[in-house]
Structure 1
Amino acid sequence: MSAQANQAMPRWVDLGLLPLWNLCVALAVAGLVVLAIGQSPWQALTVLIHGALGEARGIGYTLYYATTFIFTGLAVAVAFHGGLFNIGGEGQATFGGLGLALVGLALGPHGPAWVVLPLMVLAAALFGMVWAAIPGYLQAWRGSHIVITTIMFNFLASSLSVYLLVNWLRPIDSMAVESQSFADSARMPSLHSLAAWVGWELPSSPVNLSLVLALLACVFVHWFLWKSGAGFALRAVGSSARAAHYAGIKPRQQVLMGMALSGALAGLVAVNEISGVQGKLTLDFVAGAGFTGIAVALMGRNHPVGIVLASLLFGILYQGGVELSFELPGFSRDMVVTAQGLIVLFSGAMATVSTPLFARLFGRPAASPAAAQVKTTEAQHG
């Protein structure tokens, strides 16, 4: 076993300093790429930050993107703690959108918002849950690999969405592949409209009450994973399914539950995108957010607080990147995607590269299992 493996970093280093360092490295490498194409890295960074955070409208768009990423990041994190790599967030969010749209179209014209909106949220979560539970069942009881099945279910959800929109949900007199618009009672209120209702003036932006729902989901996930018995059982299976089995925990049920909860969180993306912004079911409304959620969860260390911070970062990148492509001549949208990809690479996929260095600088010797057991026994007997 290596020396680094015997070093335990303080939590503030693991969750705070190390991700910040990875972000700085990513920005430095992205800056070199910007310099190589003849642009000023400082000017690009200034435009990006100002476009995302410099004005109220830009902040609204940043929070709107961050809301979607919070849902998908939490979905990945919950499955990860159960030892599962759920990369089916795209399909689960798409299927959640179908459930939300069916409820919104059926009940929106006939019921008040305080009845219709909760039912739409519930439908989105339930449809996403079902779409994730099927791969969970196949993994637990049939031995299918969760990565393969969730990938294939992404395609299945997309194809099903196209079929239903083209043949069933599209208005007869419309050529656009989208459903009819929702009634007002099926629209999630935007923050600027709520602010106007109480006398405040905010510029229009797509951020809506789904942001509050996303933050509540963070609180729930934290409670579930670290405060509840069900969450402890899920994490135990994720750490060692064999050991959890000997402790009386049923790994198959935990796999199914973990995937179901993960899918429910992914399905809530539809609340923000469809009910909050589009106001109708459209094709590809997820737009890659399910895959971005993987990077968000990795960078956020699969913890709700870290996921919120990582989602804000990616919201800044998305909104600021749009401003970059408009404000800087020669800075194309492809270069924006390249810069975003470098940040994903260094902040997410290569998040553990600097871990040995920080373990040497800040680590303390980790107690052996025997020593930990002695310490626990002494604490129990005073």
Structure 2
Amino acid sequence: MIRDFLRSRAFGLVIPLIAVAFGLIAGAVIMLLSGNNPIDGYSGLIGGIFGDMYYFGETLRAMTPLILSGLAFAFAFRTGLLNIGVEGQVIVGWFAAVIAGISWDAPGIIHLPTALMAGALAGALWAFVPGILKAKLHVHEVIVSIMMNYIALHVVNSLIRGVFLDTGQRTAFVPDSASLSSEWLQGVTDFSRLHWGFLIALAAAVVMWFLLWKTKKGFEFRAVGFNQNASLYAGMNVSGNITSSMSISGAFAGLAGAVSGLGTYGYIEIFNTFTNLGFDGIAVALLGNSSSIGIVLSAFLFGGLSEGSGNMQAAAGVAPELVEIIIALIIFFVASSYLIRWIYKRLDSIRKGEK
């Protein structure tokens, strides 16, 4: 019975909930040990998410790029690849979208889609490099994609500093024709920074689900990720599918950067360090079991924890760093669940071998 449960779909649905519960319980214990009241702390956290339309709008705004960066990692993961370069792809997508926004003028119906496409294309091209190296030379994509995070950070900083610097440490603001800002969404959420990128992120989640599970190409992507030799024997283009998978993954990541640049900020500045949108997206995908609906819910949790942490400090005196600890513990418990399942499968296979 235990073996059947570990292999079932229910296990993948239950484990994230258990991980979140354990993370919150561990956070409560830490609050008690530090002299804080966990009930007051979590009440402040919930108030910082749902207590006001402004807070709720900011939570939706914070989860928007996390949905897209989570989809980026999940798409690659579902096709047998580990795209650890999501962060670099977010940065180049952010840069390309903003530069496309400030470099020329056009009607909004042309300008905004072009800027978004520039961001997605930049992310796709950045992910194409580890994809083609994996497909043609069998270079592990984890190593290459990690290295390209640093290349993206420093190349973009150099270009901003040397070519596109406008005021202080940033570029000029994108014009209204290339902005995702929405007066209607801001009005509904009491003038939060929520923008149209939120709807783009939700649409992207539907696109990933449809592409992977409802199309022939999606079946090929998943088949190649599951078994390259069997896919090659079946007549599939293994190297082409690997490259395409990484590029599509990078496009999602580039779009995450684009909605941040065109929506939340309206510019790009010199980065002192990584944005962490890409790294957080990996955690979002793992907690969401790499499914579209799971990623949306996971991104809401992460966005809520991020935005509600300030209210925890104001309402209960809890240090906002505690939220980072809770997130880390949630990821730890999720990773532990996968480790437990792997150990059980290994022991089960050994037991069967002895028989």
Task: Output the TM-score relative to the length of structure 1.
Answer: 0.85
In the alignment, does 2:58 pair up with 1:73?
A: no
Identify the residue that residue 351 of structure 2 maps to in structure 1: none
Contact 2:181 2:194 in 1 (8 A): no
Query: Pairwise mapping of residues 134-213 of structure 1 onto structure 2 (< 5 A)?
Result: 134-171=129-166, 174=167, 176-190=168-182, 193-195=183-185, 201-213=188-200
Q: In structure 1, which of residues 230, 238, 245 is the aligned counterpart of residue 225 of structure 2?
A: 238
Alpha-carbon distance in structure 2 between the residues aligned to 1:256 and 1:201: 42
In the alignment, does 2:35 pair up with 1:38?
A: yes
Contact 1:273 1:286 in 2 (8 A): no
Query: Pairwise mapping of residues 251-266 of structure 1 onto structure 2 (< 5 A)?
Result: 251-266=238-253
Q: SS in structure 1 opposite 2:35?
A: coil
Alpha-carbon distance in structure 1 between the residues aligned to 2:14 and 2:3: 19
Identify the residue that residue 335 of structure 2 maps to in structure 1: 349
Identify the residue that residue 60 of structure 2 maps to in structure 1: 63
Range moving further from structure 2, 224-233 or 24-33: 24-33
Identify the residue that residue 271 of structure 1 maps to in structure 2: 258
- Residues 133, 5 of structure 1: alpha-carbon distance in 2 compared, 3 angstrom cutoff: farther
Q: In structure 1, which of residues 108, 114, 120 is the aligned counterpart of residue 109 of structure 2?
A: 114
Q: In structure 2, which of residues 316, 328, 331 is the aligned counterpart of residue 328 of structure 1?
A: 316
Alpha-carbon distance in structure 2 between the residues aligned to 1:280 and 1:203: 23
Alpha-carbon distance in structure 2 between the residues aligned to 1:210 and 1:194: 13
Range moving further from structure 2, 132-141 or 279-288: 279-288
- CA deviations over 1:255-287 (Å, ceiling 9, x no partner): 101100000000011232111021111234962
Q: SS in structure 2 opposite 1:352?
A: helix
Alpha-carbon distance in structure 1 between the residues aligned to 2:72 and 2:196: 19
In the alignment, does 2:307 pair up with 1:319?
A: yes
Shift, 1:252, TM fit: 1.1
Identify the residue that residue 280 of structure 1 maps to in structure 2: 267
Identify the residue that residue 126 of structure 2 maps to in structure 1: 131
Aligned residues: 343
CA RMSD of aligned residues (A): 2.1
Task: Output the TM-score relative to the length of structure 2.
Answer: 0.91
Identify the residue that residue 348 of structure 2 maps to in structure 1: none
- Residues 267, 286 of structure 1: alpha-carbon distance in 2 compared, 3 angstrom cutoff: farther
Structure with higher Rg: it is 1
Alpha-carbon distance in structure 2 between the residues aligned to 1:195 and 1:78: 29
Alpha-carbon distance in structure 1 between the residues aligned to 2:66 and 2:280: 7
Shift, 1:353, TM fit: 5.7
- CA deviations over 1:223-263 (Å, ceiling 9, x no partner): 10001111101100111111111111122111101100000
Alpha-carbon distance in structure 2 between the residues aligned to 1:161 and 1:273: 15
Q: Which runs of 5+ in 2 are unaligned?
A: 346-355
Alpha-carbon distance in structure 2 between the residues aligned to 1:314 and 1:47: 16
Q: In structure 2, which of residues 227, 234, 238 is the aligned counterpart of residue 247 of structure 1?
A: 234
Q: SS in structure 2 opposite 1:87?
A: coil
Percent identical pairs in the alignment equals: 31
Q: Supply the AA of the counterpart residue of 1:156.
A: I
- CA deviations over 1:68-102 (Å, ceiling 9, x no partner): 11001100011001111111111001111121122
Shift, 1:195, TM fit: 4.8
Contact 1:93 1:286 in 2 (8 A): no
Contact 2:27 2:322 in 1 (8 A): no
Query: Pairwise mapping of residues 359-378 of structure 1 onto structure 2 (< 5 A)?
Result: none
- Residues 324, 7 of structure 1: alpha-carbon distance in 2 compared, 3 angstrom cutoff: closer
Shift, 1:352, TM fit: 2.9
- Residues 9, 152 of structure 1: alpha-carbon distance in 2 compared, 3 angstrom cutoff: closer
- CA deviations over 1:318-337 (Å, ceiling 9, x no partner): 011122233333x3233332
Alpha-carbon distance in structure 1 between the residues aligned to 2:312 and 2:229: 51
Range moving further from structure 2, 225-234 or 24-33: 24-33
Q: Which runs of 5+ in 1 are unaligned?
A: 360-382
Q: In structure 1, which of residues 304, 307, 328 is the aligned counterpart of residue 292 of structure 2?
A: 304
